[in-house]
Structure 1
Amino acid sequence: MKDEGITITKSSGDKVKFSLNKLRSSLKRTGADKETIDQIIDTVRDELYQGISTRAIYNRAFALLKKKKRHFASKYKLKKAIYELGPTGFPFERFVGAVLKNSGYDIKIGEVLQGKCVTHEIDVLAHKDHETTIVECKFHSEQGINCNVKVPLYIHSRYQDVKAHWNTNPNNKTSLTKAWVVTNTRFTEDALQYSKCCGLYLLSWDYPENNALKDRIDRFGLYPITVSTLLSNREKQFLLSRNVVLCRELIHDRFYLDHLGISDARKEKILKEISELCNSKNQ
C-alpha cells in the first residue's frame, strides 16, 4: 500500500494524511545519518496501515533509533520527554527558566509581585538590558490539549495589573516591558491572533517558526533528564524532586546517581548517553 494514501490518527483523535516528509524531518533532527534515516523510513513505511496512531509510528521509529545510537533516540523523544516533566508544572517552569538563562536573562522562579489591584505569583521573572519580562508557563501532561484564547486573555490582564504598579515603584530599577506565555503544547489560532494584537509574546513547542521551544532546546543543548532512555521513571522523578531538570545538571551533580544506588557500570552508560546528547549538534 502506498504511504501517500494512509490516514493516521493523532493523539487528539484527528485524522490526517501520513506525511513522509514530516517523519524524515523529525528523524533528521536527531542527527542520525542519511543511511540510518532511510532504513527506518523503509521499515516504518512497510508497517503502515489505515488508521495507525502517531504513537505507534513514534514507538517504532524510537525503538529503531535506540538500536542504532541511544542519544539519537533521546533527541527523538524530546517532545514526549517534556510531557514527562509533570504531573506538576514546577519542573517545566525551571526548564523554561534555564532556556531563558541561556539566552542571557537573569531569572527568578515563583516570584510574588504586587499589582495595582492584587498580588500575583509569577512563574518566571526575567531581567535583561534594564528591562523585565514576566513569563507564565502553561504545562500540559497530556498530548492533544492546546492553549486556547482564554490563556493569553488571562495572562495579559495579569501583566497589565503588575505593570501598573511596577513602573510607578521607585524601588524597581528596570522597566516592565513584556509578557510571555510559554507552553509545551500548541496555541490555537485565536490565541495567536489575540496575542499578536495585544503584544504578548508566545512560545510553544513549534512556535514561532525557527525559534520555537524545540529549536531553543537543540540550539543550547538544554535537554531535560526525562529524555534519557536508560533512567527509569522512578529515577527520573527522584532527580526532578531534587531540582535536577537538565541533563547537563546531572553531569555536574552525578552524586545523585549514587543516592539512587546505581552501579558504576550503569552510571557510566547513563552519563555517556547524556554527554553525547548535550554535545550533539543538529545536522
Structure 2
Amino acid sequence: MKFKEIDVTKSSGEKVRFSLDKLRNSLSKSGASKTVIDQILNSVRDELYQGISTKEIYNRAFALLKKQNSHYASRYKLKKAIYEFGPTGYPFENFVSAVLKYSGFNTKVGQILQGKCVTHEIDVVASKNGNTIIIECKFHSEEGRNCNVKVPLYIASRFKDVKTHWDLKPQETDLNECWVVTNTRFTEDALKYGKCVGLHLLSWDYPKGDALKDRIDRLGLYPITVSTLLTNREKQFLLSRDVVLCRDLIGDSFYLDHLGVSETRKQNILKEVKTLCNS
C-alpha cells in the first residue's frame, strides 16, 4: 500500500485522503521547530493504516509533541480544549465574552432583552464606540456537529424582534449588528443565509484570517483547558468559578491553593500558562 493511498476517517464518519501537509500546518501552529515537526511527521506516517481515525492521528501527534514540550502541546490542542469546556454552553459564552473584552468591548453575559413581541435571553451583549451588538453562542461538546441553516434563521428572527423594540425609543447606543459564534463550523447553507441577512458569522475557521482560532492566537487568549498539567477535575472547578482563560488563572492563582495543589506543581502550572500567554 502506498502512503498516498491512505484514507482516514473524520469524526463525522466521512472518509478523506490523508494530507501530510495539513498535519504539518497544524503542528506548525504549536510553535515547534521544523526539526521537531519533521520527527513527529515521520513517526506518525510510519503508524498510519487504512481507515485510521483523525482522532487517533491527533492523539499520537499530541503525545509526541508533549514529550518535546508541554507548551507546544498546549497550543496544538487548542481546538480540543474548547470541546473540554463541558456539556453546557455557559463556559463558552464566558470565553467569547472574554475574547471580545480584549478587543475593546464592554460585555455582559446572559442578558434579558425586550423584543417587540417577547423577551429574549441573549448569550453576550457587547458595546463599543456607541454601538451595541448581540451575540448568540452555539457550543458543541462533540466533534463533527456543525451549525446548519436553522441556526442563523432562528437567530435572525430574534435579532429582528429585539432591534424593533430597541429602535422604538432613544438608546445610549445603536443596535445594528448580531453575531453568531460557534466552536465548530457552519454549513454552506448557514453561511449563505447568514451573509444574505447581514449576520456576522464567526466559527472555528471562518472568516479566513479572522476566525475564532486566529483571534485566540493573535491575542494569546488561550482557554484554561489547554493546560497539560491541570487535571480534568481541576479544570472543571476553575470553569465553575468563571476562570476560563489562562490569563485569569495568573491573577487568581489562589484557586490552586483552594484545590490543594502543591507549591511546586502550582509554580509549574503558572509557568505553563504564562508561557502560553506570552507566546
What is residue 126 of structure 2 aligned with on the other side? 126
The alignment status of 1:229 with 2:220, answered yes or no, reads no
Q: 2-side partners of 1:236 and 1:108: how far apart?
A: 23
Q: CA deviation at 1:204?
A: 0.4
1:87 counterpart letter in structure 2: P
**Which runs of 5 or more structure 2 residues have no equivalent in the other structure?**
none
Normalised to the residue count of structure 2, the TM-score between the two structures is 0.99
2:9 counterpart letter in structure 1: T
Q: CA deviation at 1:273?
A: 1.1
The C-alpha deviation readout for 1:17-58, integer Å capped at 9, x for no partner, is: 001111000001011111001100111011111000001100
What is residue 200 of structure 2 aligned with on the other side? 201
Q: 2-side partners of 1:60 and 1:2: how far apart?
A: 21
What is residue 238 of structure 1 aligned with on the other side? 237
Q: Following superposition, which runs of at least 4 residues in structure 1 exceed 3 angstroms of deviation?
A: none
1:177 counterpart letter in structure 2: N
1:1-283 equivalences under 5 Å are 1-170=1-170, 172-280=171-279
2:26 counterpart letter in structure 1: S
Q: 1-side partners of 2:101 and 2:246: how far apart?
A: 16
Q: CA deviation at 1:2?
A: 3.6
Preserved contact between residue 3 and residue 20 of structure 1 (Cα < 8 Å): no
Preserved contact between residue 187 and residue 204 of structure 1 (Cα < 8 Å): yes
Preserved contact between residue 206 and residue 213 of structure 1 (Cα < 8 Å): yes
Q: 2-side partners of 1:176 and 1:82: how far apart?
A: 29
1:227 counterpart letter in structure 2: V
- Look up the SS of the partner of 1:13 in the other structure: coil
**Which runs of 5 or more structure 1 residues have no equivalent in the other structure?**
none
Q: 1-side partners of 2:50 and 2:32: how far apart?
A: 28
Q: 2-side partners of 1:24 and 1:100: how far apart?
A: 30
Q: CA deviation at 1:196?
A: 1.0
Q: 2-side partners of 1:131 and 1:87: how far apart?
A: 32
Q: 1-side partners of 2:3 and 2:218: how far apart?
A: 32
Preserved contact between residue 224 and residue 246 of structure 1 (Cα < 8 Å): yes
Q: 2-side partners of 1:92 and 1:241: how far apart?
A: 12
- Look up the SS of the partner of 2:205 in the other structure: coil
Q: Percent sequence identity over matched residues?
A: 72
The C-alpha deviation readout for 1:43-101, integer Å capped at 9, x for no partner, is: 10111110000011000100011011101000111000000112110100000001111
1:46 counterpart letter in structure 2: D
Q: CA deviation at 1:148?
A: 0.2
1:29 counterpart letter in structure 2: K
Q: CA deviation at 1:277?
A: 1.0
